[in-house]
Structure 1
């Protein structure tokens, strides 16, 4: 199992081989995610916009870390470090939008959230 997780992958044209730092531009651009996420945490705390907004800002930091791991090591294990934080963020942000910007109560927001992703899943299937 561990050997499978550590097997290198080559998914991007920039990748020059299975070595560490064989995808330098993609790996380095993840510093922008770290900076943006930490800036977001600071702004959320300064403005008092709530725990959900702060969680999303920390999520951006997690995206930067996970993506940096993948673009630096690029194996079957680190691909999940890249994909899962991004997928989780998009799901959480959808719910955040329904609550914060459309002013929906939790029950209605969750119902629309589930319906939207169920229909989207069926359509893409």
Structure 2
């Protein structure tokens, strides 16, 4: 217990009213949505050959890791635990981009590499130029939000079967990002904050994104 709580407390959310493992109960429990989403995706993948969907299994594992890492961060609120929150998210975002470009957009390896590099540069530029605390830290997710919007634009132009599914996911992600951004601004009105809404909505968004790739890979109708 002492080891887990070593270091200064990082009080970053409305819900936290003090130190201790259960200072943010809603923010912790809402991560179950991400873990449940990972299990549901895993059930779908279990019906296919492992080697055919190994990349999707990796993303599913990262989805579960997001839920676990975020839970650890919200339980302890220490700087060391923040790394377990950030890295699974970062790996999932980049991994999903690669999988989508390869499986759905059907780009060659050099096309995937080029667009991944553009995304990295956009992410670096956004984080570098944004002032500290801008959008309550949600600036980290702006490149992913923009990338998903561009994906929807690309799908829509081609009247792709995934368009409606991904457009819905993009809209929900917009609400999710707004909930994350608003958390520190609404403490007086909503003492528990809105960060837990970010967790729950993202569980649905990431589930839909992965299921879309699975359906497309199986060449099933939506």
Band the TM-score falls in, shorter-chain normalisation: 0.7 to 0.9
Question: Is 2:58 the partner of 1:33?
Answer: no
TM-score by length of 1: 0.88
Moved more, 31-40 or 60-69: 31-40
Please give the secondary structure, in 1, of the residue aligned with 2:13.
Answer: coil
Structure 1: which 5+ runs fail to align?
none
Residue 17 (str. 1) matches residue 18 (str. 2): yes
What are the residue-to-residue correspondences of 1:25-104 with 2, within 5 Å? 25-48=26-49, 50-104=53-107
The structure-2 alpha-carbon separation of the partners of 1:43 and 1:77, relative to structure 1 and needing over 3 Å to count, comes to same
Q: Work out whether residues 23 and 72 of structure 1, in 8 Å CA contact, stay in contact via their aligned partners in 2.
A: yes
Deviations 1:7-65 (A, max 9, x none): 21100011111111100001000111111112212211214461111111111100010
Measure, in 1, the Cα distance between the counterparts of 2:35 and 2:103.
24
- The 1:45/1:72 distance shift into structure 2, 3 A limit, reads same
- Paired residues, number: 124
Query: Is the alpha carbon distance of 1:106 and 1:36 closer, same or farther for their aligned partners in structure 2, counting shifts above 3 Å?
Result: same
RMSD (Å), alpha carbons: 2.1
* TM-score normalised by L of structure 2: 0.51
| Structure 1 stretch displaced more, 55-64 or 115-124 | 115-124
Gapped runs of 5+ residues in structure 2? 129-222
Q: Runs of at least 4 residues of structure 1 off by over 2 A?
A: 119-125
Q: 1:9 touches 1:18 (CA, 8 Å); kept in 2?
A: no
